[in-house]
Amino acid sequence: MVLQAFGGVGVDRTPARLLRWGWRLGCALCLLANIHMGWAQEIRFAIAQAPLTLDPRYAVDAASERINRLLYRSLVDFDAQGRPVPALATWQVHDPWHVSFTLGREGRRFHDGSWLTAQDVVATYRSLLALEDAPHAAEFANIAAMDAPNADTVVFTLKDPDADFPARLVMGILPAHLIARHHDFSRQPVGSGPLRLVEWNRTLRLERVADRQAIVLEEVRDPTVRVLKLLRGETDLLQGDLPPELVRYLKRQPGIRVEETAGTNFSYLGFNLQDPLLKNPRVRRAVALAIDRDAIIRQVLIGGSRPATAILPPEHWAGNPALQPLPYDPAQARRLLQESGLALPLKLTLKTSTDMQRLRLATILQAQMKKAGIDLRIRSLDWGTFFDDVRHGKFQLYSLTWVGVRTPDIYRRAFHSASVPPTGANRGRLRDVELDALLKRRDWPAATARIHALLPYVPLWYEGQFLALGRGLQMRAPAPDGNWDGLATITRGVSQ
């Protein structure tokens, strides 16, 4: 058609030649692209966010924590109820100040071939305490001394008694000889975990130690692109970080297997208790009563999501199954606001990030609260700005999720009077003497009941977890906290 158009006025045919060559070049590139698709037996995993560091001493983001669990082994891990269980070592509490750990035989070969000993454990924790810019150093400030009387035993001496001390030792162990050489673990990790790093360039190339299965992690930020890559066969596995409609779409696709499981990551609506309106407990309760959690869970969240009552789920050893979710009662919410002498509609502002799912949930909350006489305005901010505002108390309401919480220490970090930022995560600035005393006594049932009554957060839900597998892949169900431990055993089975 183009040629005819040119030809119609007798113009030079050079553009036509160019178009022909362009078409040929395009076809050649397409061929190249399809040659690539037949390549490898590697297992490709598309992730929303690449890890920032592979040095467990510096890891704070979820992706780094999840991959470091596979590259390194720690002394201790957790069972399904959140109780610490032996990983590299068993332990014995001699008295409130002394805990000894005895290394077992499993998982003690570092990826460089050296043998993991008690000296490596001591060197790892000493280096952590010596680093000025390590985010986790403060958690181990209670350690007074560490000794390795033999190759298999480490004795920790504490400054103050700490019944939960073993549960803190979940950081990966590094080889002492590389620590001494100031090895860059952030890009060249050497651990004793089930996976070892081959290369980290554009993608993170890993190899499973047991069978040399290649596993490639590729950062693909856009959720739609991740789904398209799975459907196209460019990636084999997706886990988490997809909006529910895309998960539902994947469920309908032939050759894609989606597995969902109950989650433990806790989503909540946080109040600023220094705000003149929200320091009134009736107003906080009215906001809580104005939210129809069940409808949101049913309509908008992925399978496996369930209503929440406290940060730790009821099945956790420090969870509180006696707590009941707050009901949905907009009429009662409206009455509470009127009894507080407030003019309706009550104007409140909710800050949230730019994440599409969070924005969608915010608009649903906005619509639900309208019925209770609350005019909820939404401010969506980029992550850095949003989190900075939350840390500095520049908000009325905000929504966030606690990810991967395993120990009841979280209650102290999130609600104790001494944990107001910058020294903790008491972002709502709750100050309650009774709660402080309960937290000090580690009386978790009473403390969680008190938090439930004070309502510094509106507990929303525990987000369900899912994974989507391409044709022929076999992997165990996703972990409730969304970790990637399944990569240690994933296989290419028989096509279904």
Partner 1 sequence: MRFLLRHLASVLPVVFGVLLLTFLLLHMVPGDPVEVMLGESATAADRDRLRAELGLNQPLPIQFADYLGRLAQGDFGHSIHTHVPIAELLAQRIPATIRLTLLALVVALMMGVPLGIIAALHHNRWPDRGARLFALTLSAMPHFWLGPLLMLVFALWLPWLPVSGMETGASIVLPALTLACGLAALLTRMTRASLLDVLGEDFVRTARAKGLPERTVVLRHALRAALLPVVTVVGLQLGSLLAGAVITETVFGWDGVGRLLVESIEKRDYPVTQACVLVIALAYVAVNRLTDFAYARLDPRVRFV
Structure tokens at 187: 């890009």
Q: Give SS3 for 259.
A: strand
Minimum CB separation of residue 226 from partner 1 in Å reads: 9
Q: Which of 42, 152, 207, 218 binds partner 1 (CB under 8 A)?
A: 218
Identify the burial level of 176 via C-beta atoms within 10 angstroms of its C-beta, where 0-12 means exposed, 13-18 middle and 19 or more buried: buried
Minimum CB separation of residue 459 from partner 1 in Å reads: 20
Residue pair 454/426 in contact (Cβ under 8 Å)? The answer is no
Establish if 6 lies at the interface with partner 1 (CB under 8 A).
yes
* List of E strands, 116-232: 143-150, 153-158, 195-200, 204-208, 214-219
Establish if 423 lies at the interface with partner 1 (CB under 8 A).
yes
Measure the N-to-C terminal CA separation of the chain; round to a whole number of Å.
47
CA 419 – CA 429 distance, rounded (Å): 8
Reply yes or no: is the peptide bond before residue 459 cis, omega within 30 of 0.
no
Q: What is the DSSP string of 319-357?
A: --TT--PPP--HHHHHHHHHHTTPPSSEEEEEEE-S-HH
Q: Which of 425, 460, 469, 487 binds partner 1 (CB under 8 A)?
A: 425
Stretch of residues binding partner 1 (CB under 8 A), selected from 86-94, 108-116, 220-228, 323-331: 220-228
Question: Considering Cα of 325, then 357, then 266, then 392, what sign does the dihedral take?
Answer: negative
Stretch of residues binding partner 1 (CB under 8 A), selected from 81-89, 169-177, 221-229, 332-340: 221-229
Structure tokens at 63: 């992706």
Stretch of residues binding partner 1 (CB under 8 A), selected from 26-34, 103-111, 239-247, 459-467: 26-34
Establish if 15 lies at the interface with partner 1 (CB under 8 A).
yes
Q: Which of 159, 248, 391, 440 binds partner 1 (CB under 8 A)?
A: 391
Q: Which residue reads 């360039």 in tokens? A: 201
Q: By C-beta, is 22 or 104 nearer to partner 1?
A: 22
Residue among 206, 143, 199, 134 nearest 169 (CA)? 143
Stretch of residues binding partner 1 (CB under 8 A), selected from 32-40, 267-275, 298-306, 363-371: 32-40
Q: By C-beta, is 231 or 477 nearer to partner 1?
A: 231
- Parallel/antiparallel/unpaired status of strands 214-219 and 43-47: parallel
Establish if 229 lies at the interface with partner 1 (CB under 8 A).
yes
Q: Which of 32, 163, 343, 494 binds partner 1 (CB under 8 A)?
A: 32
Minimum CB separation of residue 331 from partner 1 in Å reads: 38
Q: By C-beta, is 53 or 124 nearer to partner 1?
A: 53
Residue pair 156/63 in contact (Cβ under 8 Å)? The answer is no
Stretch of residues binding partner 1 (CB under 8 A), selected from 29-37, 110-118, 122-130, 170-178: 29-37
Stretch of residues binding partner 1 (CB under 8 A), selected from 9-17, 78-86, 438-446, 464-472: 9-17
Q: By C-beta, is 375 or 388 nearer to partner 1?
A: 388
By CB under 8 A, what part of segment 126-165 binds partner 1? Answer: 132-133, 135-139, 141
Q: Which of 48, 129, 231, 256 binds partner 1 (CB under 8 A)?
A: 231
Q: Which of 325, 424, 445, 472 binds partner 1 (CB under 8 A)?
A: 424
CA distance readout (Å), 205 to 100, 217, 346: 36, 7, 53
* List of E strands, 292-451: 306-307, 346-352, 374-380, 397-402
CA distance readout (Å), 403 to 63, 238, 391, 463, 483: 11, 18, 17, 10, 10
Residue pair 236/469 in contact (Cβ under 8 Å)? The answer is yes
Q: By C-beta, is 34 or 324 nearer to partner 1?
A: 34
Establish if 8 lies at the interface with partner 1 (CB under 8 A).
yes
**Which amino acid, 92?**
Q
Establish if 418 lies at the interface with partner 1 (CB under 8 A).
no
Residue among 474, 467, 470, 472 nearest 489 (CA)? 474
Establish if 234 lies at the interface with partner 1 (CB under 8 A).
yes
Establish if 255 lies at the interface with partner 1 (CB under 8 A).
no
Q: By C-beta, is 13 or 298 nearer to partner 1?
A: 13
Q: Which residue reads 């077992």 in tokens? A: 104
Interface with partner 1: number of residues (CB under 8 A): 64
**Structural element, H or E, at residue 43:** strand 43-47
No. of helices (H) and no. of strands (E), the chain: 16, 19
Q: By C-beta, is 115 or 383 nearer to partner 1?
A: 383
| Site of interaction with partner 1 (CB under 8 A) | 1-2, 5-6, 8-12, 15, 18-19, 22, 26, 29-30, 32-37, 52-53, 58, 60, 132-133, 135-139, 141, 186-187, 202, 218-222, 224-225, 228-229, 231-232, 234, 382-385, 387-389, 391-392, 413, 421-425
